[in-house]
């Protein structure tokens, strides 16, 4: 049985689907604080909170857990600056509870949802695994602290891990079975689609004078189904005895904010309002991943890198919320 902590959320639910498709038995552990029961469409469900160690012990008692994947973290960068305690408690301290119970149960394989936010401002592009890690916000700090905890546990104990550092996760299941719940994101694509369905008046473009071809920021948008595939490959890698390691996950190709907004208009066929705004603090002009290592070692090959495919899948999911606004 594979334990998916935070499996009722956006990324976790896609991993649950992919693991199930590939023959794994799963159990989702989620407190439903932002996750949705409706997204637990595969495997078993156990409602529990990582802040309550007895609830973690219970899920390990009820199921024979072989490996753990962990997605139950807060992820809003701005909120992490305003309320760091919330982030350190949940993203770090609660993860230690999980590790404690894993050790009590001799479960030694762990896949961690890390982030490009661990790198901070890029010193060079594309960003490979050798790039220095120097986060510029508490959210990124929490992810880096857990990476360091895992490194030390792996050296000291019978514990192996893979940390997957996503760049800009996006899109939704191509069969429309899961996606990002409306209102739970502060990211560009869902907010733009909110503008398209009229759930917000406009989309602001944060900065139009960056040193990029069209003046707007460039990001490496990686489809959530490609991320899901990387997790399954990472799990198989650990099951086959692979050593603890970290991998950057992106397409190696960037799209500008303007390109994303234009594609949203094309795909939705809705001409929503777009307003240039000031730069947002802490936004580097360009973030691009170098994922050669994941391709070589995990044999990962992202498939849904085309912006139109990404946007269509996100829209196909997002437009259902039209009725609710
Ligand atoms: C993308 C681009 C914005 C909203 C964040 C985290 C990162 C990772 C992924 C989790 C930027 C611009 C956005 C809007 C805009 N999170 N934008 N108008 O900041 O690249 O990455 O999510 O691991 O750690 O920092 O993603 O989607 O917020 O922004 O112009 O209303 O869109 O300025 O250039 P970001 P994003």
Measured in Å, residue 175 CA sits from the centre of ligand 1 at 26
Interacting residues of 226 by C-beta distance below 8 A, sequence separation 6+: 249, 251, 300, 302, 303, 304, 305
Q: Does domain 188-219+252-318 have CATH number 3.90.25.10?
A: yes
CA R_g for the chain: 19
For the segment 65-105, what is each residue's pLDDT rounded down to a tens digit? 999 999 999 999 999 999 999 999 999 999 999 999 999 99
For the segment 127-142, what is each residue's pLDDT rounded down to a tens digit? 999 999 999 999 999 9
Angstrom distances, CA of residue 268 to CA of 15, 162, 178, 230, 256: 27, 37, 19, 29, 18
Cα–Cα dist 175/186, whole Å? 24
- Atom of ligand 1 minimally distant from the CA of 191: 31
In tens digits, the chain (325 residues) has pLDDT values of 999 999 999 999 999 999 999 999 999 999 999 999 999 999 999 999 999 999 999 999 999 999 999 999 999 999 999 999 999 999 999 999 999 999 999 999 999 999 999 999 999 999 999 999 999 999 999 999 999 999 999 999 999 999 999 999 999 999 999 999 988 788 999 999 999 999 999 999 999 999 999 999 999 999 999 999 999 999 999 999 999 999 999 999 999 999 999 999 999 999 999 999 999 988 999 999 999 999 999 999 999 999 999 999 999 999 988 744 4
- Atom of ligand 1 minimally distant from the CA of 139: 24
Q: pLDDT value at position 323?
A: 46
Cα–Cα dist 59/61, whole Å? 5
Cα–Cα dist 136/134, whole Å? 7
- Do the Cβ atoms of 227 and 144 come closer than 8 Å? no
Cα–Cα dist 12/9, whole Å? 5
Please tell me the class of the 2-170+221-249 domain.
alpha beta
The yes-or-no answer on residue 139 being catalytic is yes
Cα–Cα dist 226/126, whole Å? 19
Q: pLDDT value at position 321?
A: 83
Measured in Å, residue 277 CA sits from the centre of ligand 1 at 14
Q: pLDDT value at position 186?
A: 87
Q: pLDDT value at position 36?
A: 97
In this structure, the residues whose C-beta lies within 6 A of any atom of ligand 1 are 75, 77, 115-117, 166, 168, 186-188, 191, 203-206, 217, 219, 257, 280, 283
Measured in Å, residue 78 CA sits from the centre of ligand 1 at 10
The closest residue, in CA terms, to atom 14 on ligand 1 is 188
Interacting residues of 167 by C-beta distance below 8 A, sequence separation 6+: 116, 219, 220, 221, 222, 248, 249, 250, 251, 287, 288, 289
Q: Which of 87, 139, 210, 221 is catalytic?
A: 139
Q: Where are the domains of the chain?
A: 2-170+221-249, 188-219+252-318
Q: C-alpha angle with apex 277: 83 to 114, nearest 5 degrees?
A: 40
Mutate to test the pocket of ligand 1, among 257, 264, 272, 307 (most ligand atoms within 8 A of CB): 257
């Amino acid at each position: 049985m594979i334990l998916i902590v935070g499996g009722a959320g956006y990324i976790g639910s896609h991993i649950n689907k992919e693991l199930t498709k590939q023959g794994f038995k799963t159990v989702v552990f989620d407190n439903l604080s932002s996750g949705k029961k409706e997204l637990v469409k595969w495997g078993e469900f156990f409602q529990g909170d990582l802040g309550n160690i007895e609830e973690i012990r219970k899920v390990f008692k009820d199921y024979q857990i072989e490996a753990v994947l962990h997605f139950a973290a807060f992820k809003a960068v701005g909120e992490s600056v305003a309320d760091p305690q919330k982030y350190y408690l949940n993203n770090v301290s609660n993860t230690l509870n999980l590790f404690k119970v894993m050790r009590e149960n001799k479960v030694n394989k762990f896949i961690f949802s890390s982030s490009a936010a661990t790198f901070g401002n890029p010193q060079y592009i594309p960003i490979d695994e050798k790039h220095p890690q120097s986060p510029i916000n508490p959210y990124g700090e929490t992810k880096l602290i857990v990476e360091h905890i895992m490194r030390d546990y792996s050296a000291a104990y019978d514990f192996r891990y893979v940390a997957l550092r996503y760049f800009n996760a996006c899109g939704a299941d191509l069969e429309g079975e899961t996606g990002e719940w409306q209102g739970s994101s502060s990211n560009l694509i869902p907010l733009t689609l909110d503008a398209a369905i009229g759930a917000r008046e406009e989309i602001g473009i944060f900065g139009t004078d960056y040193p990029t071809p069209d003046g707007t920021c460039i990001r490496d948008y990686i489809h959530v189904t490609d991320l899901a595939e990387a997790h399954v490959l990472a799990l198989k890698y650990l099951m086959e005895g692979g050593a603890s390691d970290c991998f950057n996950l992106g397409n190696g190709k960037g799209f500008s904010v303007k390109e994303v907004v234009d594609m949203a208009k094309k795909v939705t066929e809705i001409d929503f309002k777009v307003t240039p705004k000031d730069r947002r603090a802490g936004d580097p002009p360009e973030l691009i991943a170098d994922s050669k290592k994941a391709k070589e070692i995990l044999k990962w090959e992202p498939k849904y890198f085309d912006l139109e495919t990404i946007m269509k899948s996100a829209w196909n999911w997002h437009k259902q919320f039209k009725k609710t606004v």
